[in-house]
Structure 1
Amino acid sequence: MNKNLVIILFVFLCSQSSYSELYTAVAELEGLLHTEQVVITTLGNYIYAQEQKMLLVKRYVEAYVDQYKKASKDIQTYLQNPINAYLLVKRLTTDWDVVQDLITENTAEEFIADFDNLKSSLKFPSNEDLNGAAMALTRLQDIYRLDASSLANGEINGVKYATELTAADCFELGRQSYTNADHYHTQLWMMEADKRLKREIHQTVERSEILEYLAFSTFKLGDVGLALTLTNKILELIPTHERALRSKVYYEDEIAKINSVQRKGEDESIGTIQNNIEARLLYGPLCRGEIRLSDEILAQLKCRYVDNGNPFLKIAPFKVEEAYLDPQILIFHDVMADHEIATIKALAQSRFQRATVQNLNTDTMVAIQHRIGKVAWLTNTEHKHVKDVVHRVEDMTGLTMETAEDLQVVNYGIGGYNDPHYDFARKGEKNGFKNLGIGNRIATVLFYMSDVPQGGATIFPYLDVALWPKKGAAAFWYNLHSSGEGDKHTRHAACPVLVGSKWVSNKWIHEDGQQFRRPCGLKRPSPEYTA
């Protein structure tokens, strides 16, 4: 009977593999709370029948219940916090694996039947989701300079948002970093796990396991001496630890080889790794709001009402704010109503797919780690609200929508972001937008469909411009000079969402049909502007 239970549970969990990449959109995580509720209920019934022999299982269920109650008070706020999202995924991956091991000692037909009946309607996260959620937290650490101890306390920029992490939670973050060969974050989170383990009455992880990962990551960061010290601590706990005994010999040999060479200290090694991380994230200061436009530039920017010669807009003109002058970046305020946003979100969520980018070598669309979010495309004919928004873009820009792409809707996931990129096709791209037959992307309209409490700015690194999401507003800029050449100063990025759920929609406008609306210029741009 016990073997049957193991087999059925294994098949059940494997059958959920189609729900991978739940971490890439906050909206996708909502289904996991329903899964957690079902897990609580089913396991609760199982414990009732097996209570005397299943005390450890009951402890896990109580933890599930505690978190579910907190989430139920405000599901959106709960899921929008990256730490809560990580813990939700962890509870339904590694923690759930532990629960499975415990329940195989006893079985109940009702327990198997309940899961067998419900498995087709439940969402379970995959190990890929757990790894993605962990990577998102470490990404947020780097870009927003968040302290591991504060994050483990549930604090983000001094605000208490989430449940504190246990030693096991921190250990899992470190282990996921190790899986990604990220030894810097492995070291940070294993050190935090070790600190928390010392304060736990009921210890959630073995210290020898923490020390083993910590020793190896420290060695990879260049500190062989400290790696040896940590390995010796493992052997104090478990003198027969086979891997530690082998590592001890190896580290001693390495120290002997470099004994005549001065070894770099631990702090210097970590500092070097940190500098390398910052070098890859040059837009960090803009995302953190540390860079502002000069007073001279700000003094030239204005706000105004615009009607674009439209008789109807004489009565209700657009409220336009200048964010930059050359290239011109405008913010249109209050151009998408709440009911339109609700409709567009609902239409998009039912068809979400992982966001992709174009591979310049193969001209195929691929999902990669520097764009974390889920997207859907909506046509004008799907709903009146979509049609109204698209018509509004034409009124805002004065450009025809006849050759524009469908409305792209994006929901960013845990730590969701997009690296610096251009919206227009560059000369080095194999096909660009040739297959569309409507020319290059002349302009971009980016609607913000949610407020974001922390993070999530749209930044232009070459201009030192940061646009902060404001629900109902839209940003507009030309990607091409009037000569038709790409404006490389429009290179932009989406900063990681620190707290909240970021919803945006893009309307990309193409060249064809704009000949009389934005006539070509005779003057070519200066070399520094040529893409």
Structure 2
Amino acid sequence: MPPLLLLLAVLVLAQSHGVASSGGGFYDPKRVTQISWRPRAFLYSGFLSHAECDHLVKLAKGRLEKSMVADNDSGKSVMSLVRTSSGTFLAKREDDIISGIEKRVAAWTFLPEENAESVQVLHYEVGQKYDAHFDYFTDKINLKRGGHRVATVLMYLTDVKQGGETVFPNAEGGHLQLKDETWSECARSGLAVKPRKGDALLFFSLHVNATTDPSSLHASCPVVEGEKWSATKWIHVRSFDNPPDVMTDLPCSDDNEMCPRWAAVGECFKNAKYMVGTKDTLGFCRKSCGVCDA
């Protein structure tokens, strides 16, 4: 079965029955809308309660620092005019509310909690923005821990009076989206999503065969009026909490000629122990799964 059809089958099953994790994470498929297939993007109405949104904002206030970006060559975090917000990371399982949100993210995305980074809360004031960028990496340093970011869950913690939209300039069919005068000029450059308190946007930065998806290019439009608070969960192709150190010092390779074909049908995620490996053992298709240095 083609990889896209495999993904569709899983999503259809989930939307028919709902999904619950063993730890109590649950999502309601009736609130999820597919907004794009290139990139794969889905909008969840009311993913967070207003109380959860307020809690995350309260935790972040007083901890905020200037937002950084990853340098394309060195991989180091550096300041840049392309990203002018402020933000902070909240520790995993910092409290029961954060723990519940993390379980819900895992249930919705079908990706393990250990593959995700901590929640990053961001604050945008008038004029602040994040120019178009990819969430996957181009440097080797960041790839060593968890591999590429395969998916992003962007949670909106406040309404924004005007501006602050998330826009995908390369999205297929973005020019067909109808926009009235309530959309900012930035949002008119592609497929866009308005920030609404409690909603969450899930999009994938990799295709299901683990190759990078250029259509996932996205930006946070400047806030025109009001302020914007959001929370981001980046999720990697393998464990971010317990990276298998043995992998990082060895050349990237496939040990089976079938690896590219298996990766194309989603085996990197379905059969990760064999394809990618564990903390103690190397997988047999690390190159095709895109989890090590090229």
TM-score normalised to structure 1 length: 0.38
Match of 2:94 among 377, 382, 386: 382
Q: Work out whether residues 399 and 517 of structure 1, in 8 Å CA contact, stay in contact via their aligned partners in 2.
A: no
In the aligned structure 2, how far is the partner of 1:499 from the partner of 1:453? 5
**2:205 aligned with 1:493, yes or no?**
no
Q: Which residue is equivalent to 2:44?
A: 332
Match of 1:469 among 195, 202, 226: 195
Q: Work out whether residues 451 and 470 of structure 1, in 8 Å CA contact, stay in contact via their aligned partners in 2.
A: yes
Q: Work out whether residues 360 and 430 of structure 1, in 8 Å CA contact, stay in contact via their aligned partners in 2.
A: no
Higher relative contact order (CA 8 A, sep 6+): 2
Q: Which residue is equivalent to 1:451?
A: 159
Please tell me the residue identity of whatever aligns with 1:420. A
Q: Secondary structure at the match of 1:459?
A: strand
In the aligned structure 2, how far is the partner of 1:501 from the partner of 1:383? 26
**Alpha-carbon displacement from aligned partner over 1:161-190 (angstroms, at most 9, x marks no partner):** xxxxxxxxxxxxxxxxxxxxxxxxxxxxxx
Inter-CA distance 306–449: structure 2 relative to 1 (3 Å threshold): farther
Q: Work out whether residues 442 and 509 of structure 1, in 8 Å CA contact, stay in contact via their aligned partners in 2.
A: yes
Please tell me the residue identity of whatever aligns with 1:490. S
**Alpha-carbon displacement from aligned partner over 1:263-310 (angstroms, at most 9, x marks no partner):** xxxxxxxxxxxxxxxxxxxxxxxxxxxxxxxxxxxxxxxxx9554443
Q: Which residue is equivalent to 1:482?
A: 208
Match of 1:440 among 148, 172, 180: 148
In the aligned structure 2, how far is the partner of 1:392 from the partner of 1:314? 5
**Alpha-carbon displacement from aligned partner over 1:342-369 (angstroms, at most 9, x marks no partner):** 1111111121110001122343211121
**2:20 aligned with 1:310, yes or no?**
yes
Higher strand share: 2
Q: Structure 1: where are the runs of 5+ without partners?
A: 1-303, 523-531
Inter-CA distance 504–313: structure 2 relative to 1 (3 Å threshold): closer
Please tell me the residue identity of whatever aligns with 2:121. V
Inter-CA distance 421–313: structure 2 relative to 1 (3 Å threshold): closer
How far the C-alpha of 1:326 sits from its partner, in A, is 2.8
Rg bigger for which structure? 1
Q: Work out whether residues 447 and 472 of structure 1, in 8 Å CA contact, stay in contact via their aligned partners in 2.
A: yes
Please tell me the residue identity of whatever aligns with 1:431. I
Select between 479-488 and 315-324 the one with higher mean Cα deviation: 315-324
In the aligned structure 2, how far is the partner of 1:415 from the partner of 1:482? 36
Match of 1:504 among 230, 240, 259: 230
In the aligned structure 2, how far is the partner of 1:314 from the partner of 1:357? 32
Percent identity between the two aligned chains: 30
What aligned pairs does 1:95-106 form with structure 2 within 5 A after superposition?
Answer: none
In the aligned structure 2, how far is the partner of 1:307 from the partner of 1:502? 34
TM-score normalised to structure 2 length: 0.67
Give the total of aligned pairs. 216
Q: Secondary structure at the match of 1:512?
A: coil
In the aligned structure 2, how far is the partner of 1:371 from the partner of 1:495? 11
Q: Work out whether residues 307 and 314 of structure 1, in 8 Å CA contact, stay in contact via their aligned partners in 2.
A: no
Inter-CA distance 334–493: structure 2 relative to 1 (3 Å threshold): same
Higher helix share: 1
In the aligned structure 2, how far is the partner of 1:356 from the partner of 1:395? 29
Inter-CA distance 307–332: structure 2 relative to 1 (3 Å threshold): farther
Q: Structure 2: where are the runs of 5+ without partners?
A: 1-13, 175-190, 240-266, 276-284, 286-294
Q: Secondary structure at the match of 2:99?
A: helix
In the aligned structure 2, how far is the partner of 1:315 from the partner of 1:425? 29
Q: Secondary structure at the match of 1:432?
A: helix
What aligned pairs does 1:39-50 form with structure 2 within 5 A after superposition?
Answer: none
Inter-CA distance 314–391: structure 2 relative to 1 (3 Å threshold): closer
Q: Which residue is equivalent to 2:260?
A: none
Q: Work out whether residues 307 and 318 of structure 1, in 8 Å CA contact, stay in contact via their aligned partners in 2.
A: no
**Structure 1 runs of 4+ with >3 Å offset:** 304-318, 513-520
In the aligned structure 2, how far is the partner of 1:495 from the partner of 1:354? 17
Inter-CA distance 305–333: structure 2 relative to 1 (3 Å threshold): farther
CA-based RMSD of the aligned residues comes to 2.8
Please tell me the residue identity of whatever aligns with 2:158. S
